[in-house]
Amino acid sequence: MKRHLNTSYRLVWNHITGTLVVASELARSRGKRAGVAVALSLAAVTSVPALAADKVVQAGETVNDGTLTNHDNQIVLGTANGMTISTGLEYGPDNEANTGGQWIQNGGIANNTTVTGGGLQRVNAGGSVSDTVISAGGGQSLQGRQ
């Protein structure tokens, strides 16, 4: 493997530890994983303002009402109520789609969510959602235990 003077890194979500970790741009994943790792790595690589748009709802925290737009991401470990997800579609430098969206993690809860306009709500194992409305090109991805 060649060593370069200029090395860049990316943030990826480790679903086992539930944390963001730093990975080399040359690191290989264990397979195609559409999800928070792709979205967060694209946000970290493309620009600093895009990283600032990511919102984390910590365990024990409750967020009421809000809108995710412009490819924002919300990682929910606590509770999110009344969110609207309408993020559109964006292609990053590696030509992988980044729709942005809401990522419900183990122990996270989302209630009364509306997903439209290319937005995505992903519910990982151990996450819980209720009263989600999907319309106008929005999507929902449900993940089981691995």
Is-above-0.75 flag for pTM? Answer: no
DSSP E strands, 1-146? 9-14, 19-24, 55-57, 62-68, 73-76, 79-86, 90-91, 97-98, 101-104, 109-111, 114-116, 120-123, 128-130, 133-134, 139-142
Whole-number Å distance between alpha carbons of 77 and 75: 7
- pLDDT tens digits, one per residue of 58-72: 999 999 999 888 778
- Average pLDDT across each block of 10 residues of the chain; the chain has 146 residues. List them in order: 60 70 68 52 44 75 89 90 79 55 92 89 92 89 71
